[in-house]
Chains A and B, each alone.
Chain A
Amino acid sequence: MNILLAILVLGSLAAVFGALLGFASVRFKVDADPIVEQLDAILPQTQCGQCGYPGCKPYAQAVADGEAINKCAPGGEDTIKKIADLMGVEVLPIDESHVQGDAPKSNRPKVAFVIEEDCIGCTKCIQACPVDAIIGAAKQMHTIIIDECTGCDLCVAPCPVDCIEMRELPDTIHNWQWDLTSIPVKQLD
């Protein structure tokens, strides 16, 4: 009799808690973004392909599938850290083999710049640009839409006459970072 009672009590308890848990899991369900979307949001969207994938979304997908997290050169350490946080893995140093050209020394964003007198209008850079930030027609001088350029570098290599350079955006009062030490003090006497 006692055993029966115990079983009954424990069983009903289990049932109650089970129902509670089940209710909670439905009621308080957290709608998280799919992991790929979250990863894609972290990536810098330069679409540069330095990671070996054709764009940021494919790399996000690959990371979600277990690819190394340290292949995003434009994102740098910050991005790796964020991905590591999101994926719950160790932070890795950036994979040098995926960094094209010199590692960015300053955090100032760079954009492509067409040296217009040298441009022969070959349209190769237009085809290379992942975000359609270059305008121009065949035999016509091309130019970069600075606001759209992600600084991915992809247009530099295809240019047959090397007329594309990556240039740092100039300091203006709108993007000035309060670096007082670099102010040139003008003396006039």
Chain B
Amino acid sequence: MVESVIERITRGHFWDFHGGIHPPEQKVITASKPIKQLALPKQLIIPLQQHIGREGDLLVKIGDQVLKGQALTLSTNPMTVPIHAPTSGIISAIKMSVIAHPSGLSQLCIFLDVDGEDTWRDRVVCTDLETLSNNDIIEKIADAGIAGMGGAGFPTHIKANSKSDINILIINGAECEPYITADDLIMMEQSNAIVDGIKILDKLLSPAFILIAIEDNKPKAIKALQQATQDIEKMKVCVVPTKYPAGGEKQLIQILTGQEVTSGQLPIDAGIIMQNVATCFAINEAVRHDTPLIRRVVTVTGQALSKPQNVWALLGTPVNFLLEQCGVQAVENEKQPVIMGGPMMGFSVASELVPIVKTSNCILVPSRKEMPSAFEKESNEVECIRCGQCSDVCPSQLLPQELQWSAKAKDYPQLEKLNLSDCIDCGACAYVCPSQIPLVHYYRVAKAEIRQLQQLDLKAEKAKIRFEARKLRLEKEKIARQAKQKKAAAARKAAMNKATPEATGAKSAVAAALARVKARKAASQAGGVDSKNNATGSISSVDEPIDAPVDEQLSPVAAAIARAKAKKKLKQEAALLTPQSDVLAKETLAGEPEKKPAKAEKQINADDKKAKIAAAIAKAKAKNLNAASKPSASVAPPRASAAEKTESVQTSVEKPTNADDKKAKIAAAIAKAKSKALAKKAAQVSAETAELEKTSAVGDKVPAQVVQDNIVDSKNERTPAPTADKKAQIAAVIAKAKAKKKNKESSKIDSNVSHNDQDSV
């Protein structure tokens, strides 16, 4: 097979690929002029990412002085290639800027103010290639930041480091896009350097054959390379017929070997590697002269320029500098397309500051006369008449017209069935379409959407797994909690029986609660370390023991005091509202008084919490206000919902967590429970008289203000007493809960009332 391939090639017989077009070449514009060395631009804009893969880690900061060839980013990942300072200067900014991408989006770029000195960093010129091992060479290529310069920008060191057996190395000098002559010129002028680069690749990959493919419209380049390779048996210059897109990787492989690259695979899977001629030149520069990839040949062409030519452009040179150098003749009041890349696959640049990157081979500024369709403001698209010219020219043998219908209908399964993913975006179909349908654009949009859908599918799959895992975890926790709960209930029962053996049922519970409240009151009055023991004693039935750090021993006491005070206030208020519901309130509160100290202790830790809590209160208030002002449509019985919530709160309270955040949770739960109790009362009352509710609204406002006063006070004191601190926090929690609850209630009862509410708050 391979023999016959080589035989055919030596005879000059090649295969052909399906379709293809012959757009006007327009290479004469620039092919006859040598590559020009440009003066240094004032500023370079170097995007961190100039290739396929990821951006490297920054090595420099604003204000740094860098030398020519100094690395600006570090490669930490195989898919990362570093970038280098194209000349010496000072980093003036590192910020987002429009990059060379069809989207016109911004990415992180390094702005380099050129100092004009062009001082090189130290370089080690390698005179003898034999002294370097393959790994050394690969490292040099990787450090030089070389990425495929033909357009895709795949990191070269990965391709060059392939372990599998390479049969054929193809050097792509076909350059099939119209207008572009960058590769043509570099082949003419630097043929020996290119051949040296190829020799390095030969050493790395040791392929059986090396084929240099050049389209037959570049006679000078063919001659130059034939001369450079004449005494090298292994290398063959293959003159392939000119046809767009012969320079496409897959198409060129088909032309030279008759093989097709299986869909979804890479050429390397068939033992073929392809490198661009400019990449070979860069490899030689990097390995022999220790020169990283900091410049490239760019064809600046188009009839809107007075001096179109190929130039050696430093990477990061803004487009406007190149255009100035080549004599742009802008037409007033007309939007001028400036295309990076060729007319078939290039993209419009969105800004004059778009920099030249490793993959930019051409800047095309056409005049209206030569490329009218590039100027058309709106699409001339008419209906597809199924003429089939698109499928005749498609190099992938797709059916563009059917793809187009499916793309418009967003029928993604059908698109995949029609092998949309094998489309290479060459634009041949859109070029010949008599209905002027922007076919490629439809495919690109569809491809992007398919890619997004695939990502969403992956995400959904991941979400499902995480959800299942969470469900399992919650289930486990629930079982553990239930066990613990049972134990706790038993303990509580035992304690209760001990305390009031004669009492039974609810009565005993109420009595117990009363007793506990009293005990706590006493504790708060007593204060001091002694009372702390008391307090802890009174709550010995707590589920979890309080493990207060030694240095915080004082705080639980303070907390207890604060709480008791707050509770008193609360009680008073409750009494004001409904004296008879006092017991009820206590009953509810009695459910979880044990957990409060824990909360208090925790809150003490945070000194700077005050400000946050104040903010939180404000936010909570605002939120509730919003909720209140929306007259609730559902007239669900408030009690039922309250009860439901209490239940959920309780479960969350009882949730045994070993982690530190448990206390916080408990605190939150308490706040909620409190509010719930209040809500219950409020509901009872307000159900009877909306009037009374209003009063309560006014009444509730007071503590909230007090809280804020407290906070302000404690803020003013540079050394806030823990007590004050505590007080404020607890009051805040209460106020928040109250406000929330009350608003909810009132909104449910009457929107008028809620209006009042709003006024009062």
Residues of A within 8 A of B (CB): 40, 43-47, 55-57, 109, 118, 120-124, 127, 130-133, 137-140, 147-148, 150, 160-163, 171-173, 175-180, 183-186, 188
- Binding stretch for chain A, among B129-137, B348-356, B488-496, B697-705: B348-356
CB of B652 within 8 Å of the partner chain: yes
Partner of A171, one of B105, B320, B461: B105
Tell me the B residues contacting A by CB distance below 8 Å: 98-99, 101-105, 107, 320, 335, 350-353, 441, 444-445, 448-449, 452, 456, 459-464, 466-467, 469-471, 602, 605-606, 609, 612-613, 615-616, 619-620, 622-623, 652, 659-665, 668, 736
Among B102, B460, B664, contact of A123 (Cβ-Cβ < 8 Å): B664
A164 to B115 alpha-carbon distance, docked (Å): 48
Chain A nearest CB from B470 CB (Å) reads 5
Complex Cα spacing A175 to B103, Å = 10
Question: Which residues on the B side are within 8 Å of A172 (C-beta)?
Answer: 105
Given contacts A161-B619, A185-B350, contact A120 B613 (CB under 8 A): yes
User: Which residues of A have CB within 8 Å of B619?
Assistant: 118, 160-163
Subset of 29 A-B contacts with CB under 8 Å? A45-B467, A47-B463, A47-B464, A56-B464, A109-B456, A118-B615, A120-B612, A122-B664, A123-B661, A123-B668, A127-B652, A130-B467, A131-B466, A131-B467, A132-B470, A137-B660, A139-B606, A147-B459, A161-B620, A162-B619, A162-B622, A171-B103, A172-B105, A175-B448, A178-B445, A180-B102, A180-B441, A184-B104, A188-B351
Q: B103, A183: Cβ atoms under 8 Å?
A: yes
Q: How far is the CA of A183 from the CA of B448 in the complex (A)?
A: 16
Closest-CB distance, B457 to chain A (whole angstroms): 9
Given contacts A122-B668, A138-B664, A186-B352, contact A177 B445 (CB under 8 A): yes
Residue from the list A55, A162, A177, A183 in contact with B104, Cβ < 8 A: A183
Residue of A nearest to B98 (CB): A186
Contact A160 B104 (CB under 8 A): no
Chain A residues in 8 Å Cβ range of B605? 139
Question: Contact partner of A44 among B352, B449, B456, B612, CB < 8 A?
Answer: B456
In the complex, the answer to whether A121 meets B664 with C-beta atoms within 8 Å is yes
A177 to B448, CA, bound (A): 5
Given A186-B98, A186-B352, check contact A173 B107 (CB 8 Å): yes
Q: How far is B104's CA from A183's CA once the two chains are assembled, in angstroms?
A: 6
Interface centre among B99, B445, B464, B665 (most CB of A within 10 A): B464
Which residues on B sit within 8 Å (CB–CB) of A122? 664, 668
From A140, which residue of chain B is reached at the shortest CB distance?
Answer: B661
Residues of B within 8 A of A188 (CB): 320, 351-353
Check if A133 sits within 8 Å of B602, measured CB to CB: no
Residue among B352, B459, B469 with most chain A CB within 10 A: B459
On whether the beta carbons of B467 and A55 are closer than 8 Å, the reply is: yes
User: Given A45-B463, A160-B620, A177-B452, A185 and B652 touching (CB < 8 A)?
Assistant: no
Once the chains bind, are A161 and B615 in contact (CB under 8 Å)? yes
Pick from A133, A147, A175, A178 the residue with the most CB of B within 10 Å. Answer: A178
Q: Is the CB of A46 within 8 A of B448?
A: no
A161 to B609, CA, bound (A): 14
Min CB distance B352 to A, Å, is 5
Residue pair B661, A45 in contact (C-beta under 8 Å): no
CA distance A175 to B441 in the complex (A): 16
Residue of B nearest to A47 (CB): B467
Chain B residues with CB under 8 A of A133: 466
A45 touches B620 (CB 8 A): no
Residue of B107, B466, B605, B619 most packed against chain A (CB within 10 A):
B466
With A and B bound together, what is the CA distance between A183 and B348 in angstroms? 10
Cα-based distance from A184 to B105 in the complex (angstroms): 9
CA distance A56 to B353 in the complex (A): 48
Q: Tell me the bound Cα distance from A138 to B655 in angstroms.
A: 15
B705 to chain A, nearest CB (A): 19
- Within 8 Å by CB of A148, from B320, B466, B623, lies B466
**B103 contacts A150, CB within 8 Å?**
no
Q: Which residue of the partner chain, among B449, B661, B664, contacts A177 with CB atoms under 8 Å? A: B449
Taken together as a complex, chains A and B put the C-alpha atoms of A57 and B320 apart, in Å, by 57
Asked if B467 and A138 sit within 8 Å, CB to CB, the answer is no
Q: A55-B467, A184-B350, A188-B353 are in contact. List 18 more A-B contacts (CB 8 A).
A: A47-B463, A56-B467, A131-B470, A137-B661, A138-B602, A138-B662, A138-B665, A139-B661, A148-B463, A150-B460, A161-B615, A175-B452, A178-B441, A185-B104, A186-B350, A186-B352, A186-B353, A188-B352
Is B602 within 8 A of A139, CB to CB?
A: yes
CB-nearest residue of chain B relative to A130? B467
Contact present for A176 and B463 (CB under 8 Å): no
CB closest chain-A residue, reference B664:
A138
User: Closest CB of chain B to A140's CB: distance in Å?
Assistant: 8
Q: Judging by beta carbons under 8 Å apart, are B665 and A123 in contact? A: yes
**For B445, what are the chain A residues with a Cβ–Cβ distance below 8 Å?**
177-179
- Indicate the member of B353, B463, B470, B663 with the most A CB atoms within 10 Å: B463
- In the bound assembly, the distance between CA atoms of A138 and B353 in angstroms comes to 48
- Please name the residue on chain B nearest to A40 by beta carbon: B464
Let me know if A124 and B456 touch, CB within 8 A: no
B41 CB to nearest chain A CB (Å): 15
